[in-house]
Amino acid sequence: MHETTSSAKPWAGRFNAPTDAFVEAFTASVDFDQRLYRYDIQGSIAHATMLARQGILTEAERAAIVQGLEAVRARIEAGEFAWSIPLEDVHMNLESALTADIGEAGKKLHTGRSRNDQVATDVRLWLRDEIDGIRGEIRRLQQALLDLAEREAETILPGFTHLQVAQPITFGHHMLAWLEMLERDRARLADCRRRMNVMPLGAAALAGTTYPIDRHYTAELLGFDRPAENSLDAVSDRDFAIEFTADAAILMMHLSRFSEELILWSSAQFGFVELSDSFCTGSSIMPQKKNPDVPELVRGKSGRIFGHLMGLLTLMKSQPLAYNKDNQEDKEPLFDTVDNLKGSLKVYADMMGNVTCNHARMRAAAKQGFSTATDLADYLVRKGIPFRDAHEVVGKAVALGVREGRDLSELTLAELRSFSAAIGEDVFAVLTLEGSVAARDHIGGTAPAQVRAAIERARERLSAEAHDDVR
């Protein structure tokens, strides 16, 4: 038989038997939701301020509550607060400590609210700040990519499709592709934040409250755009957590793709880049090894966050309105998603500022696989040959190169002219790697001039958005 506990509960009036000790521990959330304490106190101070303004609390009661909550916060931050499992969660722990400190006024704080609207408000306040921090880390990574792209604007490497050499591109252009992926991630998180910035507080348990509260005033105090329109939806909605985790999953998918390329590029088989020793580890048995552990671990963490998204969707899919105890399970996957996403972005922003390019290896790889074949086809089109015919001509020239073990640029003029009389001495200008990338001189193209112009536009955009975020 399980033990029981006799600890008094703030809600124990209706119950005739104490809570089973195992059930008490099993249902408690304070071990993980205590990280919300700042936001719970912030919400409580705003709630008390509104209650006093409406005449539901006296000004003296409000002042005692605010002073008491700030004292509790100071004890927590000094590591002097004893969290209690019998008090279940962060809300009851803080309220109990407040009441112990200031007496009757502390018992009045919960007037006109429930833990249902309280926790929904706390998590939104917390996640709002976390999104701001995450968007800042994305911007820091983007700035590192811009610096790297600028240094390597003219560095040539092979562009791949199907992981086969396709066309020569510049390394700077490749870094800007990653930048664009991150730009969409930052925009998605901004959209998520806007949708999330609606205040549940005042919805109480599910139906609102009979007290003459002013939810617009509380929302203003807490920086929300508006109070939630419907009390049932306000306490049961976890769309914002799912949307954030979906956005995080997409972002981690992008970082996983970055990781895969860095892992390949830093291998002996590619040798395109070298990661700083600070972001790699060695082998316990093979002295020569330098393992790209950071990108490998980030690649692995993507699966962890995908799992959290599936977990949250499954958590909510069968819940009737309004609040259910199931919703306690939303926090740990959400907290873990935030922690791992922030960590991955931080380490990536630091790591990308210390990437070294092996120009010779990149250039040698770009000369393999007939990467300028499309340039030869475009050259023939400019000579008046239909593209499909030009495609066939180049295919035959490539076949000769494969048999001879020579690149197109290494074939003689006579050999090239044997496939088309339209080919002249000027063909060799388009068969060079530099000529190939320089010819893509349009917005979005890989030409060094376009890479530098794109970098300048991106820097201006990031600067303007950072200024807007601060306001």
> Hey, which residues are catalytic here?
162, 283
Q: Could you write out the DSSP letters of every residue in 198-251?
A: EE-TT-TTTT--SS---HHHHHHHHT-SEE-S-HHHHHH--HHHHHHHHHHHHH
Which helix (H) or strand (E) segment holds residue 114: the answer is: none
Question: Quick check: 186 and 149 in contact, CB under 8 A?
Answer: no
Determine if the peptide bond prior to 204 is cis (ω within 30°): no
Half-sphere exposure of 322 (CA within 13 A, CB side): 18
State which amino acid sits at residue 276. S
Cα distances from 253 to residues 247, 250, 302, 310, in angstroms, run: 10, 5, 6, 15
- The token pair at 31 is 């071990």
Q: What's the CA angle centered on 75, arms 127 and 39, to 5 degrees?
A: 20
Residues constituting the chain? 471
Q: How many of the other CB atoms lie within 10 Å of CB of 301? A: 20
Whole-angstrom Cα distance, residue 10 to residue 110?
11
Q: Could you write out the DSSP letters of every residue in 119-174?
A: HHHHHHHHHHHHHHHHHHHHHHHHHHHHHHHHHTTT-EEEEEETTEEEEEEEHHHH
Whole-angstrom Cα distance, residue 236 to residue 327?
8
**Considering just the CA atoms, what is the radius of gyration of the chain in Å?**
31
Q: What's the CA angle centered on 37, arms 60 and 205, to 5 degrees?
A: 75
CA 449 to chain centre: 31
Q: Tokens 């998204």 appear where?
A: 309
Label the pairing between strands 226-227 and 273-274: unpaired
